[in-house]
Every structure is written in C-alpha cells, then in structure tokens.
C-alpha cells in the first residue's frame, strides 16, 4: 500500500511541526496532489487509521487535485491531454513528453490547535503556503 507510506510520511512531517510548535493537536491538513499520482481516494481512506494515536488523529485531510498539463512544443502551448495517460497534444496529436503539472505532492498548510487554547476545538495557528512555507513531502513526485 503505497498510499499508507505516504500517509505515514505526511503524519510524521506534520506531527514534528505540531510538536515543535507546542500544539495540542492538528485540526486540518491541506495538500496538493497531482492527478497522475492516482492515490487521492486511497489516501483519504487510509488517513484516519494511519493517524490513529498521533497528534494528527481526528484531523481533516483536504486534497487539492492538480490536473495534468503538458507542453506541446509543436503548438508552443500548454495543453491538457484528452486522457490521464495519453501524452499527446489534443490539438495536433504529437507526443508531449514534458509534463508541467499533475505530478505534485505538496504539503500546503496545516491548522493547529494550541495546547493552552481556551476552546480546545478552535484552531489557533495556521501555517499557509501563501506565506512561502510550502513543503515537499518525502518521496515527492515533482
């Protein structure tokens, strides 16, 4: 189960940040995952059992699936192939081996609940990629 090892790596990375921040628990984890990974559904399925007994237990996992785009050198344009594993330009039909998006696997943000929060269910800290703190997950396909 490849998705289980990815879930474990994600939980470990998020757990280390949460522990170093003094968080009580993780409320939300957001990741970007390319369409070519093909494991988003399986990752959703195995995440609750993988996070059991960790600081991430009960966290909500959000996966933003990044579509496949390729560069057609003949058309000199970015294209979206007709099918996931069809690396041909949908317009001219020529091979398009240069994948631009669709292989990503990135931790985008985590939402932590502070240990000393008045309301333990209220998220108190958020680490967001827009603050330039995006991290590649171990085993990233980018």
Whole-angstrom CA distances from 39 to 30, 33, 43, 84 are 15, 9, 6, 13
The DSSP-derived string for 102-133 is S--EEEEEEEEEETT-SSTTS--EEE-GGGT-
Higher local confidence (pLDDT), 37 or 138:
37
Q: What is the model's pLDDT at position 130?
A: 33
- pLDDT above 70: percentage of residues in the chain: 81
Identify the pLDDT of residue 125. 52
CA 93/CA 110 separation, integer angstroms: 41
pLDDT digits (tens, 9 = 90+) for 48-61: 999 999 999 999 99
Residue ranges and CATH numbers for the domains of the chain are 2-65+103-136 (3.30.2320.50), 68-101 (no CATH)
pLDDT band at 117 (very low <50, low <70, confident <90, very high): low
Taking every pair of Cα atoms in the chain, the longest distance, rounded to a whole number of angstroms, is 60
Give the torsion sign (CA, 47, 14, 104, 1): negative
| Dihedral angle of Cα 82, 84, 87, 89, to the nearest 10 degrees | 20
Residues 30-87 pLDDT 10s: 999 999 998 999 999 999 999 999 999 999 999 999 999 999 999 999 999 999 888 9
The CA distances from residue 85 to 81, 94, 102, 130, in Å, are: 8, 14, 11, 31
115 vs 82: which has the higher pLDDT: 82
């Amino acid at each position: 189960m490849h998705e289980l090892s990815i879930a474990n790596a994600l939980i470990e990375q998020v757990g280390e940040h949460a522990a170093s921040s003094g968080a009580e628990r993780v409320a939300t984890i957001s990741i970007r995952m390319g369409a070519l990974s093909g494991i988003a559904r399986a990752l959703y399925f195995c995440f609750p059992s993988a996070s059991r007994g960790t600081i991430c237990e009960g966290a909500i996992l959000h996966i933003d699936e990044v579509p496949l785009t390729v560069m057609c050198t003949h058309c000199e344009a970015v294209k979206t192939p007709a099918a996931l594993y069809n690396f041909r330009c949908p317009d001219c039909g020529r091979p398009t081996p240069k994948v631009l998006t669709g292989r990503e696997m990135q931790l985008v943000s985590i939402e932590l609940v502070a240990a000393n929060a008045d309301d333990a269910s209220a998220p108190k800290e958020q680490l967001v990629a827009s603050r330039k703190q995006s991290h590649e997950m171990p085993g990233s396909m980018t």
